[in-house]
Chains A and B, each alone.
Chain A
Amino acid sequence: MRLTVNGTSRSYDGDPAQPLLWYLRDELALTGTKFGCGIAACGACTVHVDGQAIQSCVTPMSAIAGKHVTTIEGLSVAGDHPVQKAWADANVPQCGYCQSGQMMAAAALLKQTPKPTEADIDRAMSLVICRCGTYTRIREAIVAAAGGR
């Protein structure tokens, strides 16, 4: 099968049941996508597949055939996606481990809903746990990335 990862076309002939997460981390060395639970309960592994935010830890490679995958490494060339800029301005990260997933979830949200309400933010972002507790800053950064309120 073939797939595209961060704009590069790839072929894959390994175990079709292997989750995308481990393909990205172990085979492509794209370790910006994190492992936090493995059961779609924490969002650390969130990436975009054809523009949609999905949990890569429960998405088998067989479901990715022919699709476009974007990881945090491919969100922007220079780290200047509006979400990354807003994250920097609000100094969101603490340890940083959850933040790839947070930013990928936020970027997908803003793409679909450029002016999200509080409820939209809650819905999209409650999938992604931050144990360091950066939620208030994430909310602030999303509002800023959406061009303020």
Chain B
Amino acid sequence: MTTPHDLERREFLKRLAAGGLVIAVGASGVRRLEAMPAFFAAGDPFQPSVHLHIGEDGLVTIVCHRSEMGQGVRTALCMVMGDELEADWTTIRLEQAIGDPKYGSQNTDGSSSIRGTEYPRLRLAGAAARTMLEQAAAAEWGVPATDVAARNGAVVHVASGRSLPFGQLVSRARLFPVPAAPKLKDASQFRFIGKEVAGLDLHDILTGRAVFGQDAKMPGMKVAVILHPPVYGASVATVDASAALKVKGVERVITLATTPIPSGFQPLGGVAVVASSTWAALQGRRALKVTWTASPNDAHDSVAYRAALQASSRAPGRLVRKQGDVAAALSSAAKKVTAEYYAPHLAQAPMEPPAAVALVTGDTCVCWACTQDPQSARNEVAAALKVPKENVTCHVTLLGGAFGRKSKPDYVVEAALLSREMKAPVKVVWTREDDLQNGFPHTVAFQHLEGSLDATGKVTAWLHRVASPSINTTFAPGVTDLSDGELALGILDLPYAIPNVQAESCKAAAHTRIGWFRSVSNVPHAFAISSFVDELAHAAGRDPRDFILELLGPDRIVDMTKVGAVKPVDNYGDTWEAHPLDTARYRKVVELVTMEAGWGKKLPKGEGLGLAVHRSFLTYVAVVVHAKVGANGEIAIPRVDIAMDCGFVVHPERVRSQAEGAVIMGLSNAMTSELSFKRGRVVQSNFNDYRVLRMSAAPRALHVHLAPSGGLPGGVGEPGVPPVAPALANAIYAATGKRHRSLPLGKA
């Protein structure tokens, strides 16, 4: 299969203007659009998210509204729509959409581009266009539509073997109404969906031609780096730019206003050095002498903060789930287990630090950025420039990793503000130091769990208290604890058949911006929950696998209105009817992963297997880690097995690679990474002290086991991460009898 190439945007617009068949997918269904004018009509109640265009030359263009960051969305969209269309793969072209609400949500977040109802809607678009092309051919030949079939870019009259390529049918196909419920292909006829298809961007990546945000360029462009306030909430007090301005190539030093706390998506402010080259800008920044105003976060210290969170989690918090009577069950238990878990702040640290290019001309702005959400970039730029958002065009480059960091467009706003000052295109380059010290760290969490066992070793009560600052603190004042949405990431949806369950959200103030991180609060929650299940299993003297299966109870759909949640529980924005909490799917991934990993096998001294299972983003994942602990406590990981049930699998190769990546990131979270604060400032500065997993520490063997259960697809990018850290902690316990309750677990 050859790889479809990106069309130049201008060429694509020309192509649209030249006619052809345009099918758009919206929340309410599928519709045909007239060429250019209607395509850009404002105020149309129909809000298509994806567009499919078939030109008279037979080329198929798919507009991708979501951002590519390694998860393969660009390829997956082509696979799904192209398959239903019966397109010839070599004729498929991809156009990356600009940020515009006409595409529906473009926020590439929550593992949501294919999952749930997106997948059937994408299929519908392809099927609708195929049906219209078939009708056009049938009319051309004067035969019933049932006698023709689309095949690989052409419609064929089955009996006679006559065929017409799509391009020649387009103008006729336009005259047919768009079928509301076209016949979808049978899964047995899929040619791309569920098959191995080479990634659309693979060749460009292999030859160094792929363009990321850091690589974006405009003629006459200046480069800027910014010295950001070291403490959240501080702003520039004094600037001495004299030395910086002497650096050859430095053109201007510009003070940027600090957005007051909570600063949302707007920039932190600071001092920008604008230069003719990146090197000059970097040297200029080094030569700046800046003092900062005081901030309410000046005293923030991770050691003291951890103690404060611990104290908070030891007292009752806001009651969010109450089933049965936990207090009574705990006090009458045959055995009681209490454990506390700590997970530190983390940095997303995508390999590409944030970057954006912007050009402001009068009251309009064009930008190019590695952003997960070009619409919010557009909105924030418009707000900062005080221009209508229709005046801002935000193009999306490839993203060199994102993991949640690039859904916050503060760096795009910086580029726009500086371009307005410079009256020239400006690229803002974030360095790794900026990324680690001035980012949106993942939340930190202290969790207090209590559980009880009866005389037969059955769990009778489960109390879970969490103290963890909410992402909402970044956006609104007065947020005191996790939101209900964040609590629905593991705590409110705890599936186990335990008669008495109580969950409380305890107070946790934020002293930094807090942001999304791959799998969000599932990461700390799953660490505590799956570690605690393992602790209970050992307290009961049971094999952890058998114990988990028993704790899941009989196969059933958990009625989420009957789990004692104080408010309705969110299900990743989807309904519980479409994506119920199904204990059979937990059971199956546990059974699969333990069978594949050889659970129960005899291992040498100092080695052990650990198991954890977690559902997130509508997908069920179980992990077995094989850990080997050396005489001096050094941890090696000979093997990891991960089993994933994400419903229907659209792109198996990408599902596997996302699962592999999730294991590596989960191990980084567990073993090496920690972002900490002292005197309000982030202590770590670069990859020398913010440590992430490298090749030498990666598992020697990593086996992904897909356990697709059919139905609607679940998320894939994130759900692999949460069970990895607890599986490792449980493996180390199995190997050594030492329980790690604090991450990163390499640190005592």
Q: Given the complex of chains A and B, what is the CA–CA distance between A50 and B688 in angstroms?
A: 27
**A69 CB–B CB distance under 8 Å:** no
Chain A residue at minimal CB-CB distance from B212: A97
Contact with B along A9-41 (1 / 0, CB 8 A): 000000100110010011101111111111101
Contact with B along A83-97 (1 / 0, CB 8 A): 010011001011111
Contact A79 B351 (CB under 8 A): no
Contact B352 A36 (CB under 8 A): yes
Contact A37 B279 (CB under 8 A): no
Contact partner of B205 among A73, A99, A130, CB < 8 A? A99
**B692 CB–A CB distance under 8 Å:** yes
Contact with A along B193-225 (1 / 0, CB 8 A): 000001101111111111110110100000100
**A121 CB–B CB distance under 8 Å:** yes
**A129 CB–B CB distance under 8 Å:** yes
Q: Which of the listed residues A36, A91, A118 has the most CB atoms from chain B within 10 Å of its own CB?
A: A36
Chain B residue at minimal CB-CB distance from A84: B206
The number of chain B residues with a CB under 8 A from chain A is 63
Contact A31 B279 (CB under 8 A): no
**A145 CB–B CB distance under 8 Å:** no
Contact B687 A41 (CB under 8 A): yes
Contact partner of A122 among B70, B215, B688, B695, CB < 8 A? B695
CB distance from B509 to the nearest CB of A (A): 30
**B657 CB–A CB distance under 8 Å:** yes
Contact B702 A136 (CB under 8 A): yes
Contact B695 A131 (CB under 8 A): no
**A67 CB–B CB distance under 8 Å:** no
The answer to whether A133 and B279 touch (CB under 8 A), given A91-B198, A126-B695, is no
Contact A73 B202 (CB under 8 A): no
Q: Which of the listed residues A103, A127, A136 has the most CB atoms from chain B within 10 Å of its own CB?
A: A136
Interface residues of B in 399-436 (CB under 8 A from A): 399-403, 429, 431-432
Q: Given the complex of chains A and B, what is the CA–CA distance between A127 and B136 in angstroms?
A: 58
Q: Given the complex of chains A and B, what is the CA–CA distance between A93 and B201 in angstroms?
A: 9
The answer to whether A122 and B696 touch (CB under 8 A), given A25-B278, A133-B660, is yes
Contact partner of A38 among B403, B432, B653, B693, CB < 8 A? B432
Contact A79 B203 (CB under 8 A): yes
**B185 CB–A CB distance under 8 Å:** no
Contact with A along B659-693 (1 / 0, CB 8 A): 01111110000000000000000000011100011
Contact A35 B688 (CB under 8 A): no
Interface residues of B in 280-305 (CB under 8 A from A): 282
Contact B692 A129 (CB under 8 A): yes
Cβ–Cβ < 8 Å partners of B203 in chain A: 79, 88
**A115 CB–B CB distance under 8 Å:** no
**A68 CB–B CB distance under 8 Å:** no
Interface residues of A in 118-149 (CB under 8 A from B): 118, 121-123, 125-139
Cβ–Cβ < 8 Å partners of A33 in chain B: 208
Contact B400 A96 (CB under 8 A): yes
Cβ–Cβ < 8 Å partners of A98 in chain B: 351, 400
Q: Given the complex of chains A and B, what is the CA–CA distance between A143 and B372 in angstroms?
A: 35
Contact A132 B401 (CB under 8 A): yes
Contact A19 B71 (CB under 8 A): no
Cβ–Cβ < 8 Å partners of B201 in chain A: 93, 96
Contact B661 A132 (CB under 8 A): yes
Contact A39 B70 (CB under 8 A): no
Contact B279 A18 (CB under 8 A): yes
Contact B214 A87 (CB under 8 A): no
Contact A32 B662 (CB under 8 A): no
CB distance from A148 to the nearest CB of B (A): 17
**B171 CB–A CB distance under 8 Å:** no
Interface residues of A in 38-72 (CB under 8 A from B): 38-39, 41-42, 44, 71-72
**B273 CB–A CB distance under 8 Å:** no
CB distance from A143 to the nearest CB of B (A): 12
The answer to whether A34 and B217 touch (CB under 8 A), given A93-B205, A94-B661, A131-B351, is no
The answer to whether A95 and B208 touch (CB under 8 A), given A37-B432, A38-B431, is no
Contact A36 B695 (CB under 8 A): no
The answer to whether A131 and B202 touch (CB under 8 A), given A19-B279, A79-B207, is no
CB distance from A134 to the nearest CB of B (A): 7
**B736 CB–A CB distance under 8 Å:** no
Cβ–Cβ < 8 Å partners of A22 in chain B: 277-279
The answer to whether A136 and B277 touch (CB under 8 A), given A38-B431, A131-B351, is no
CB distance from A20 to the nearest CB of B (A): 11
Contact B208 A32 (CB under 8 A): yes
Contact partner of B432 among A30, A36, A135, A136, CB < 8 A? A36
Chain B residue at minimal CB-CB distance from A36: B351
Q: Given the complex of chains A and B, what is the CA–CA distance between A137 and B656 in angstroms?
A: 11
Q: Given the complex of chains A and B, what is the CA–CA distance between A15 and B412 in angstroms?
A: 30
Chain A residue at minimal CB-CB distance from B702: A136
Q: Given the complex of chains A and B, what is the CA–CA distance between A121 and B698 in angstroms?
A: 12
Cβ–Cβ < 8 Å partners of A125 in chain B: 695
Chain B residue at minimal CB-CB distance from A77: B207
Contact B206 A39 (CB under 8 A): no
Contact partner of B351 among A19, A30, A31, A129, CB < 8 A? A129
Contact A103 B206 (CB under 8 A): yes
Q: Given the complex of chains A and B, what is the CA–CA distance between A15 and B702 in angstroms?
A: 46
Contact partner of A26 among B277, B401, B686, CB < 8 A? B277
**B739 CB–A CB distance under 8 Å:** no
Q: Given the complex of chains A and B, what is the CA–CA distance between A25 and B399 in angstroms?
A: 18
Chain A residue at minimal CB-CB distance from B214: A35
Contact A73 B199 (CB under 8 A): no
**B398 CB–A CB distance under 8 Å:** yes
Contact A32 B352 (CB under 8 A): no
**B694 CB–A CB distance under 8 Å:** yes
Q: Given the complex of chains A and B, what is the CA–CA distance between A18 and B281 in angstroms?
A: 12
The answer to whether A84 and B198 touch (CB under 8 A), given A19-B279, A35-B214, is no
Contact A135 B687 (CB under 8 A): no
**B488 CB–A CB distance under 8 Å:** no
The answer to whether A37 and B695 touch (CB under 8 A), given A79-B203, A133-B664, is no
Q: Given the complex of chains A and B, what is the CA–CA distance between A80 and B205 in angstroms?
A: 13
Cβ–Cβ < 8 Å partners of B217 in chain A: 29
Chain B residue at minimal CB-CB distance from A31: B215
Contact B202 A91 (CB under 8 A): yes
Cβ–Cβ < 8 Å partners of A133 in chain B: 660-665, 693, 698
Cβ–Cβ < 8 Å partners of A38 in chain B: 282, 431-432, 686
Contact A34 B400 (CB under 8 A): yes
Contact A15 B71 (CB under 8 A): no
CB distance from B152 to the nearest CB of A (A): 24
**B353 CB–A CB distance under 8 Å:** yes
CB distance from B397 to the nearest CB of A (A): 11
Cβ–Cβ < 8 Å partners of B352 in chain A: 34, 36, 95, 97
Contact A95 B398 (CB under 8 A): yes
Contact A93 B71 (CB under 8 A): no
Contact A87 B351 (CB under 8 A): no
Cβ–Cβ < 8 Å partners of B350 in chain A: 95, 97, 131
Chain B residue at minimal CB-CB distance from A30: B208
Give 15 pairs: A residue, B residue, CB < 8 Å, sorted on A.
A15-B279, A22-B278, A27-B277, A29-B217, A32-B208, A34-B214, A72-B207, A73-B208, A95-B69, A96-B400, A121-B695, A125-B695, A126-B695, A132-B70, A132-B351
* 4 interchain residue pairs of minimum CB distance: A32-B208, A133-B664, A97-B400, A95-B70
Known interface pairs A22-B277, A38-B431, A121-B695; 20 further A-B residue pairs with C-beta atoms within 8 A, sorted by A's residue number: A18-B279, A22-B279, A26-B223, A31-B215, A39-B687, A79-B203, A88-B202, A91-B198, A95-B401, A126-B696, A129-B694, A130-B664, A131-B351, A131-B692, A133-B665, A133-B698, A135-B664, A135-B698, A136-B701, A137-B660
